Amino acid sequence: MGYQHFKNDDYSIRSNPKNAFVGHPKLGIQLNPGTYQININNGLAFEACHLDNHSRYVAGRKQNHSNVLLLGCSFTYGFGVDDGQTFASLLQKAYPDAGIQNAGVIGYGSVQSLMQLKEQLEAGHLKVALLHFSSYHFMRNRLSQQYRSNLKIGYKRSSQDVDNLMKQSKFPYKTSCDGPIEFASWESMYSNWPGRDWFAAINSMQTAFDKASEDIEQQLEITACILKEMNDLCRKKGVEFGVVCLDNTPETIQLKKGLDGFNWLDVNFNFNSKELTNYPYDSHPNRKGHKLIADKIQPFLRGLLNEN
């Protein structure tokens, strides 16, 4: 009848020393301090230094305090490239007098970025906060059923130690604009229906159920509310807030229309490009990709810093 069997493609993440990424009771995932050699799919290796404040090292930074905060997910973190090759480090090189902090973490959505921003605003040093947005964040902000599946099954494929590392993890999400931030534990995140591993029909039904549960309009509404809250928080503190939209989809276009007056930059990065991504290992930007992104952000950041 055309039903597909249950199958997971292999995806491996190994680090030396172990445990570069660990669970967190409110943010879901956190960078574990230390310097790591990380290998993706037994072929792509990069070095990453995680600082004591659980952010990634930015090459060339001289200031002790952060006045430019970069928020986002694995694209901002720089998954697949060395510390000095991330667009965060390239921006630091372009603005040596700025103290740039790379707070990007794999798997993050805008909810985690909102929580990080609140903490950073209390320090009182920020001048600019940039949220690097991706269309992946819509489902992460709602923690949709399809994303729960991607997260639980996909992340478990990366390492045999995942369940132990994520035991304390709780992932934040929102179900409405007015409601509080809620949390889902790693254990209750997602589970396969009985028989899914063995019966194609059951796999097909659960996959169809997950897709049918997606409510993109609700995800758009929740995401817009999160970004508006971030903008309002920054405005009250006299901090410039900007959105760097990395990809271009009908949903990001609709989101932009609903955020009239925001500082907004469209990067239009091609995540299908073999020349700009870590192909064939994964679709994260490679060294050339980070250089392209940094070149596009640089004049945008200059304007927010009020530099000529």
Percent of the chain surpassing pLDDT 70: 93
pLDDT digits (tens, 9 = 90+) for 7-29: 555 577 889 999 999 999 999 99
In DSSP notation, 35-46 reads EEEEEETTTEEE
Q: How confident is the model at residue 251 (pLDDT cuts 50, 70, 90)?
A: very high
**Average pLDDT of span 88-111:** 96
pLDDT digits (tens, 9 = 90+) for 142-177: 999 888 887 777 665 555 667 777 888 999 999 999
Rounded CA separation 124/134 (Å): 27
Rounded CA separation 227/244 (Å): 12
The full set of domain ranges for the chain reads 13-304
**Phi, psi dihedrals of residue 171, rounded to the nearest 5°:** -100, 130
Over 50: is that where the pLDDT of 36 sits?
A: yes
**Hey, is 285 helix, strand or coil?**
strand
pLDDT of residue 157: 57
Range of lowest pLDDT (32-46, 89-103, 141-155): 141-155
pLDDT of residue 8: 56
Query: What is the pTM assigned to this prediction?
Result: 0.92
Higher-pLDDT residue of 149 and 137 is 137
CATH 2.60.40.10: does it fit domain 13-304?
A: no
